Structure formats: structure tokens, C-alpha cells
A and B are shown apart, each in its own frame.
Chain A
């Protein structure tokens, strides 16, 4: 028997090891207890964090696994590293159910009595993948994650064959009557035995419910992670618990502001982080990893998901009289899927973060972000760490700057591409090389970009205009980057097939008209290898990997033509 030194309140907890462990932690609300409920984690955590609550259990039988249970209510320190879903491509983060994951490392302090001890870890992320857990600072005999949940179905299963109380309330008079009953079958097809005979309790249409004497020790509100130590001398130990949790994602969000002359842009980038988890990580050391991380389909929590689904989708009257009116009338509708959580895009005002709403004020040169995530090499990946602790709140999205470049020089290009014989419609893009000399030279993780341009009106009266949206794949230093952001309105391309078609060849003409009051650069890509061969092209073509480029400057309000002949290569 180990006694908590500061024992203000003792809450015995079941060992997570399983059945037959020990006494029940919290009654099902049948008696007012001065002890805080296990489910009211808020109060409980602070006490437990201070004390490192030790719970000892007396057992009437000597069961080897009935080790004392020590509760670790929450981490002292936590680090969260988010990963991007590589298969999301250019799609947006699914805020309701983020599809990637995070590595969460929690530093916890626990005081252990000597001997074999079970430590229960509470306050872990709901999306924990239990098999990924690593424990630094201890080498346990075994680790367990129990997902037998306290629910209506769980209670019925635990009390099958046992006595419960059936309580019936008369809706007219409010009169309550109670009766002893024995549960004979499962929750979704419940039959009870009363002294009068057998009854299907949820098929009667009466207002009745079952009252249980206690909550079984083996059931818990949430899946519980625990470890059982080897025989150890006891004392205070610091354990780092690291695990992968699903339900997180991040993305790079670029804000590009084109200069009016189209020769440079200001580039600003946000680390947009989303957590769909139910647990908040307060003052966490937060980072994000860029680059593609190989994943295994086995890293997921099937057991926990199945247990949650089974508990959530109980239909009590599913087994009522065959196709009878009973089930039609009284079958409760299936529980509605959880309402989408309100999007907490805005963070508390005290946060150092600048949020999306404030983007408008971010001028090309002004309003620098005061906190910028720093990038470092992590093997072949990039790690962006936020230099100050931040709170990764439950079901929220958060943004921190990671890149601020005032002037990245490049080129505004109107661009079309020929795949077979004639080009597709022209697009506008900004092309730059990711290098120091041109004002950049930092790795650019994949993400979306919003491209702005000052309206150019007098005094910038209209502020900025959105000229388009774009997306980038991962781009390393020295790579050429093309931000395709839209279709031009003032530059048109007309294609026609000319008369005099030969047996195996066709002549084409493209007419490009620039209605802008300024000159533009126009490019057409011709693949070096396709089912079509291009002949009679003008002399000067740029060679790029896999293609030749016809590039031309079109003067303000000018027109240019390109004629060429195509012939099939026979492939």
C-alpha cells in the first residue's frame, strides 16, 4: 500500500492491463464524490501535475498484474512536429479531418513506488497511433493501449448476466417505479429478465432505462495508453513519450506581390498548421517538416477507431419486432455525424501570430512578421522550427511566417504549350530562379500561392488586387520556379490551319495580339519528342530539357505570328 504524500483526494484507477485489476475509479454518478471526476480533466490535471499522483490498489486476490497505477495526467513540456500530407497535392488542408500526422514528444515527470508499476499516460493526442510510441528514459516490461470504452454498449456487455435496476417513469404522473432485472443479451438487441418474464426493454415505447451499480474498471472514457515497468527501485523519473498522432497537416501558403513592372515580386510565406485533434498542446515547441516522408499503411489506429465507432453507432432498437411499426415509430434516428467544429482560424489576440485577416495590411515592403520560423536540415528533409513556444490548440489552424523576401527578381511571361499540333490557351506566369543573387535562395516547400499586384491607381487608392492563385511543388535552391497564376484577358492567341494540306503534313499559323499598353514576353513550348514533328520553325529557339521554346517580345498593342508545319513521327 503506497500512500500519496499530499493526498488531498484519492482516485483509484484501473490498471490498463485489463480485467480483474482493481477497484473502479469513478462511479457512474450514483454517489456524490468529493473527488474530482476522472472525466473532469481540467481540475484533475493541475493536481496531478503538481503531485505526481500515486495510486495504490488493494486487491483481495493476488493477481500478478495488479501493479500499483501511477497517473501521469499531462506533459510538463511538449514538442509538436507537423508533417504535410504528400498525397494531398495542390488540394487544401481538410480542416475538419486533416489527413497527415504529427510527431508529439512529451516530457513527463512521474514518481514511482518501488516494484512493478503501471503508469497511465493521460492527455495524449486523441489521434495517437499506439504502436508508434517511443519511451525515452525508461524500459518498460510492456506497453498497453486499451480501447474498451465506457459507453452504453460497453456497460451492457460488462453487466450481461448480472443484476441491474430497470427504472420506469410514467410520463403522465411522473411516477417512478423500479424493478430488478437481469441483462440477457447485447445492447443492440437487448432482452432483460424480470420477475414477470422476459422483455425487450427498448421495444415497448415506454420511458425506461437501466441503472447500473458501478462503472466497470476495465472501461475508460478514451483509449488509454499505459506502460508497466519492470521491478524498479522507485523514485521520480523523467520520461519522454514520443508518438505519431494522425489528424494534423500543414501547408506552405505563399503571398506573392508582383511589382508593377513585372520584373520582381515580394514573397512572403506562411507555415499554415492545422490540428483536428481534441487535445490542445499548450506552449509547445513547434516545428514542421518539409519534403516527402515515406509512410506505411500500418501506421494507423484501427483498434481505437473500431472501438469508437462501435460505441458511437449503437442502435438500441435495431432488433425490435420484425419489420413492425414499433421500430418505425420509435427507432431513434442514427446519431448525426459530429457537427463540423467551428473553424478557429483566428488565434487569441495575444498571440504573436499574424492571421489571414491581416494579410491585407501586409505591404510588399512593410509590416514584417516578428516571429519567423527557421529552417534547418533534417537529413534530406527541411525542418522549420518556430523560435518561440506556441499553443497548438485543439481543432484549430495557425499560421507563422517562415519566409520574407522583399525583392525576388524574375520575369513575367505569357506562356502556351503545344502537346500535339496546336497550342493550348495562354497562361500568365512569373518565372524566377531560386537563388541568392536574385533575392531568394531558400528552399520552397510545396504549397499554394496567392499572387497580388498593386492596383497602380493614384495613391494606390484601391490597394492591392488579386491577380491569381498558384501552387508550387517542393523547390530546392537553384531550381527554376514558375508560378502560373492565371489566364490573360488582354493577350489573345488565335490558331488556324492553313490551306494546302499535304499528304502527311499540315501548316499552322498562330497569331498573338497584345492589347496591353506595355510590351510582353510570349513563349510557346514545343516538345522535343512527341507523336508530332515540327518543321519550318523560325531559326532561334531556346533549348530546355525535353522541349524547345519559341520566345518573342511583343510590343505594346502589337501583333506577332508564328507559322510552322507538323508531320506525324509515326510513333
Chain B
């Protein structure tokens, strides 16, 4: 049971009234450890000192997560066996109370609105289906149909109607006495992710990175004075529909997972395949709380900025479009971070002319092992733009012929005849022009990427007979060019594609 604990506080100075003493709801929790995963899942282990009588007894566990998954509850301890586990979620409400009172007698207390005079009657509840039908003496009446105030007093509250969903366990103890009892269960409503602050010094080509673990508790329950462990990874929940990489394709080029263990400098440790982040000491994770603890602080990490423009299809853009600004760095040990980066949001800041840190954009990252190369899109460059233009497109027929059909005929006399058909290879020739402009007072280099070159297998025969800057075929679908643009200058890249479509 909760109890009221009175405490006094000393007032000082002019006020000097003994300030209102407080209510301190004492928790029923014991020694709590919480292990929190990224995907809205937490494992709660709660060691409670419970005094058990010998033989069978029913124990209620209060102050468990309000979102507990009751089927995951396990109870362990010495000297007892579990008879049954119950999770009662028939909640006490006016409607539930009335429905349980059907067939029973309640007291009606009427107050005359004019005089205030009270009158009392006993009534039998006949039904509670859209209006409560009552038998009072020899008449049948619908409760409060006249709109006048009536108090309905129930003799008692049925025992299984609860204020909150309640976990109870029937135990069979060999001997009576107090003992520790470990209650463990899974609950949604608690999750964590990382938030990174990256302060970018463009002149020095360096970033300072701070990493924070952000933990949120929406379980409806406060975990008092608990030990908390955060595990990086989506653990224990199989993706029913097969995971898809949301936004993966839209990440800029230059992201490459690393192979370093990555638990060198920060607070992280490795446990099996996972990185774990224990919170130092004990902490209270209050309901509706967002808690942050630091796990990484690295400075002077080499970083540089790049520009990327991606044309998803061989199409023209009606106006020049700003290219993406991409911040590139590595979390390798040699570069100063040396720590795996759990999934989260990186917010990038730069100092303005007055030295004040200004926000220049943010990007989400997935779980990133140590030694990875990161390329984060922070935003678009105001002054660096690309306009893609389809200059020409026509059909050409090469001297090359291709077989496209072959057949064999077997006659009734056993004679066979083979034949095939040929046609000239047909290509489409598309000339693309990419106009890259730079209104910045410094030269820049822009990675122009043309995508959509080979999305299906019959599109794979793509040839590039001419290009004004040597490009790189990154994969079947994408070709890229590093286009240098002078300060306040313009560079035009022209490329001719031969495609079978």
C-alpha cells in the first residue's frame, strides 16, 4: 500500500511558515535494474523483499510498468513454487461497477434541488444496457432519466475491479518468512536513442563531437533509484514484414561501415554482438521523463565538407537546384572518436562571425560500428547549384546485330530444322548537360551523380561514349563525376549515354 509520509522543511528568511509538508508516495519497487533497447522495449528486473506465509498465498505486485507485457513475467526466488500468475485488467469505472451490480441492490440517495432535502431508497439493478433499469419497490425506473441529481451508493467494490492493471501471483511457499523475490518482465514504453552534437570548424577542418544517450519513459510508471543499462540494437523482436532500409538509399555517398570494435574512448562497452552503455550510479527514471547522459566527448576529429547532386533519372530540371552539403568524417580510433555510434540524430553546428554556435542541419545515422566513414547530409548549399538538362535524345542503330529468337522444328519423319532471327542493335543516345554554378568566393568540387541507369536487368547495357570529365561507374545504376567549379564560377559537364531504352 502507498502511504503518506510527512516531512518537514525549514523555512528561512521572511516567510518562515512551516511550508506544507509533502506527500511522498512510497514505491513498492525493490532493487530495480532496467535494460533498455532501442526499439521501444525494456527488460525490468525488480528484486523485492517479500514476506511470504507458509503454504499458498496470493501476492500482488504494485508499481510495475503500466504497460507491462504480462506474458513475459517470470518470478524467481528460493523456497516456493508458482501456482498461477494473473494479470487483472478489468478496470474500475462507473460503467464496470454498474454492470457488476446487475442483480444486486444499491442505495439511491436523492437530493431535492430546491430544498436540499435528502431521501434514501434501495433499488435492485435489473439491467445496464443503455440506461440503467432499476426496480424500486414495485416500480421500474431508468436511473437519472429525469436529469435530477441522484447518488448511487454501491455497498462494495468487486474485488477484481482494479484502479490499474494489476499483476498477481499465487505462490506456494514451503516455509513462511521474508525473502528476496526477483520479478522480471518486458515492457514497451521505454526506449532510447542517441543525440550527437557536432561542432564543425570549417577552416580547421575539424569537428568536436559529443554523444548523449536520450532515454524516454512513457510506461506510466516511475522506476525509482534504479540501475540502468542501455543496449544498442533492435533486440528480441523479429521483424514480421522483413526490415526495409528506410531512407538508406537517400544517404549521401561516402558512408561505409567500419570494422573496429569501437569501445575505446567513451562510456560504451561491448557485450556479445551489442554495445552497451551503463548509466553510472543509480538514477530515477521518472514517468514522462526524457533523461540524457553523456557517453562520448571527442574533439579535433578531422572532418571536411563535400557537395553532392543526384539526378534520379535522365531528366531536365526546370531550374537550377541547390546541391546537398555533406559533412564527412570517420569514427575510427585514429581520428579521435574510437567509439561505435548507436543510432540517433547528429546535429551539426558552426560558429557564426560573433562566435555563437549556430545550427546548420541534422541527419539521422543508423548503428555505426567503429572505424566507419560517415557522410551526413546537413542541408542544401545556397550558393552551389546544378541544373540538369537533356540536350538531345535520339534513336541510333548500330552495325552490330543481335539474335533475338531461335527455334527448332522437328518433322514427323524425324527431320529437324533450326532457324534464328536477328535484328540490328538499337540504342537511344541521350546527351545530358549538367550546369554547375558556384556563387561562393571559394572554389568547390561537386559530386554529380546520375542515377537510374540500370534499374532492371534488361537495362544493364549502358555505354558512355563521351563525357567532358572522366566519370566513375559506381554501380550498374549510378555514374558519378567530380566537377570542380572555380570561385564565383560555372562548369558545364556534358555526358552522352547510349542506353537500350
Q: Interface of A with B (CB < 8 Å)? A: 1, 3-4, 6-10, 12, 16-20, 22-24, 27, 30-31, 33-35, 57-60, 63-65, 79, 81, 83, 103, 105, 130-134, 136, 139-149, 158-162, 170-173, 175, 183-186, 189-191, 193-194, 196-200, 202-206, 213-214, 216-218, 242, 244, 285, 287, 289-299, 302-303, 306-307, 319-326, 329, 376-383, 385, 443, 445, 473-474, 476-479, 528-529, 545-546, 571
Q: List 6 A-B contacts (CB under 8 A).
A: A10-B11, A19-B25, A173-B116, A306-B288, A319-B95, A322-B95
Contacts of B345 in A (CB 8 A): 131, 296, 298-299
The contact of A18 among B21, B200, B284, B352, by CB within 8 Å, is: B284
A16 to B281 Cα, complex, angstroms: 17
**B95, A320: Cβ atoms closer than 8 Å:** yes
B144 and A205: CB pair below 8 A? Answer: yes
Chain A facing B: main interface SS: loop
Shortest A425–chain B CB gap in Å is 18
The residue in A191, A217, A571 that gathers the most chain B C-beta atoms within 10 A of its C-beta is A191
> Knowing that A9-B15, A298-B344 are A-B contacts, what are 9 other residue pairs whose CB atoms are under 8 Å apart, sorted by A's residue number?
A6-B13, A19-B284, A103-B359, A170-B116, A206-B111, A214-B20, A306-B288, A322-B98, A476-B382
Of B23, B143, B361, B378, which contacts A216 at CB under 8 A? B23
Please measure, in the bound complex, the distance between the C-alpha atom of A528 and the C-alpha atom of B282, giving whole angstroms: 69
| Chain B residues whose CB sits within 8 angstroms of the CB of A196 once the complex forms | 107, 153
Contacting residues, chain B, for A139 (C-beta < 8 A): 294, 297
Interface size for B (C-beta < 8 A) is 139
Whether A478 contacts B437 in the complex (CB less than 8 A), given A57-B9, A191-B93, A191-B94, comes out as yes
Q: Quick check: B92 and A184 within 8 Å, CB to CB?
A: yes
Q: Is B269 an interface position by the 8 A CB rule?
A: no
Task: Please tell me if the beta carbons of A291 and B380 are within 8 angstroms of each other in the complex.
Answer: yes
B39 within 8 A of A: no
Q: A18-B224, A478-B488 are in contact. Are A290 and B382 (CB under 8 A)?
A: yes
Q: Chain B residues near A30 (CB, 8 Å)?
A: 20
Contact status A198-B156, CB under 8 Å: yes
What distance in Å separates the Cβ of B203 from its nearest Cβ neighbour in chain A? Answer: 11
Give residues 52-77 of B contacting A (CB, 8 Å). none
Q: Is the CB of A295 within 8 A of B94?
A: no
- Which residues between 244 and 301 of chain B lie within 8 Å of chain A, taking CB atoms? 279-294, 297
Chain A nearest Cβ from B191, distance in angstroms? 10
Binding site for A on B (CB under 8 A): 1-2, 4-5, 7-15, 17, 19-27, 91-99, 107, 111-116, 128-132, 142-145, 147-157, 162-164, 193, 195, 197, 200, 202, 210, 212, 214, 216, 218, 222, 224-225, 279-294, 297, 305, 316-320, 322, 324-325, 344-345, 347, 349-350, 352-354, 356-364, 377-385, 387, 389-393, 433, 435, 437, 439-440, 488
* Nearest CB of B to A377, in Å: 8
Q: How far apart sit A319 and B96, CA to CA, in the bound complex (Å)?
A: 9
Contact B154 A294, beta carbon cutoff 8 Å = no
Complex Cα distance, B92 from A24, in Å, reads 29
Residue of A whose beta carbon sits closest to that of B131:
A324
B155 pairs with A197, CB closer than 8 A: yes
A contact residues around B14 at 8 Å (CB): 7-9, 34
Residues on A with beta carbons closer than 8 Å to the beta carbon of B324: 294
The CA of A323 and the CA of B290, in the complex, are separated in Å by 39
Task: List the 7 closest pairs (A to B, CB-CB), nearest first.
Answer: A18-B286, A189-B93, A7-B13, A205-B149, A200-B94, A18-B284, A380-B381
The smallest C-beta distance from B247 to any residue of chain A, in angstroms, reads 9
CB distance from B394 to the nearest CB of A (A): 9
Task: Determine whether the beta carbon of B214 is less than 8 Å from that of A131.
Answer: yes
B130, A324: Cβ atoms closer than 8 Å: yes
Q: How far is the CA of A216 from the CA of B279 in the complex (A)?
A: 27
Closest to A324 in B: B131
Asked if B13 and A378 sit within 8 Å, CB to CB, the answer is no
Cβ of B319: which chain A residues have Cβ within 8 Å of it?
473
- Minimum Cβ distance to chain B for residue A194 (Å): 8
Contact (Cβ within 8 A) B344 A322: no
Complex Cα distance A24/B7, Å? Answer: 10
Q: Which residues of B contact A64 (CB under 8 A)?
A: 225, 281-282
| Residues in B neighbouring A147, C-beta threshold 8 A | 288-290
A60, A171, A477, A545 — most chain B CB neighbours (10 Å): A545
A residues near B2, Cβ cutoff 8 Å: 160-162
In the bound complex, do residue A214 and residue B22 qualify as a contact, i.e. CB atoms below 8 Å apart? yes
Q: How far is the CA of A241 from the CA of B364 in the complex (A)?
A: 23
- Most interface-central of B20, B98, B195 (chain A CB within 10 A): B20
Residues of B within 8 A of A4 (CB): 12-13
Complex: A477 Cα to B113 Cα, angstroms: 78
* B280 contact set on A, CB distance < 8 A: 141
Chain B residue numbers with a CB within 8 Å of A16 are 286
Given A18-B286, A184-B163, A385-B352, also A291-B381 (CB < 8 A) = yes
Output the nearest chain A residue to B7 by Cβ-Cβ distance. Answer: A60
On chain A, the residues within 8 Å of B322 by CB distance are: 291-292, 474
The answer on a CB contact under 8 Å between A205 and B282 is: no
Q: Is the CB of B111 within 8 A of A143?
A: no
Q: Which of B17, B111, B144, B287 contacts A321 (CB 8 A)?
A: B144
A205 vs B380: C-alpha distance in the bound complex, in angstroms?
A: 61
In contact, A307 and B23 (Cβ under 8 angstroms): no
Q: Which residues of A contact B107 (CB under 8 A)?
A: 196-197
A204–B392 alpha-carbon span in the complex (Å): 80
- CA of A16 to CA of B98, assembled, Å: 40
Among A24, A57, A190, A197, the residue within 8 A (CB) of B20 is: A24
**B145 nearest in chain A by CB position:** A325
On whether the beta carbons of A546 and B358 are closer than 8 Å, the reply is: no
Chain A nearest CB from B187 CB (Å) reads 16
Complex CA–CA separation, A27 to B11 (angstroms): 14
Task: Check B153 against A198 for contact (C-beta < 8 Å).
Answer: yes
**A133 to chain B: which residues have CB within 8 Å?**
292
The distance in angstroms between the C-alpha atoms of A33 and B18, with both chains bound, is: 10
A311 to chain B, nearest CB (A): 10
User: When A329-B144, A380-B379 are in contact, do A18 and B364 touch as well, CB less than 8 Å?
Assistant: no
Q: Which residue of A is nearest B286, CB measured?
A: A18
A381→B384 CA distance, assembly (Å): 10
Q: Is A81 within 8 A of B144, CB to CB?
A: no
- Contacts A18-B289, A162-B4, A206-B151: A324 and B157 contacting too (C-beta < 8 A)? no
A149, B224: Cα distance in complex, Å: 18
Given contacts A64-B225, A298-B345, A379-B202, contact A198 B157 (CB under 8 A): yes
B364, A298: Cβ atoms closer than 8 Å: yes
Q: Cβ of A307 and Cβ of B288 under 8 Å apart?
A: yes
Whole-angstrom distance from the CB of A446 to the nearest CB of chain B?
10
B320, A479: Cβ atoms under 8 Å? yes
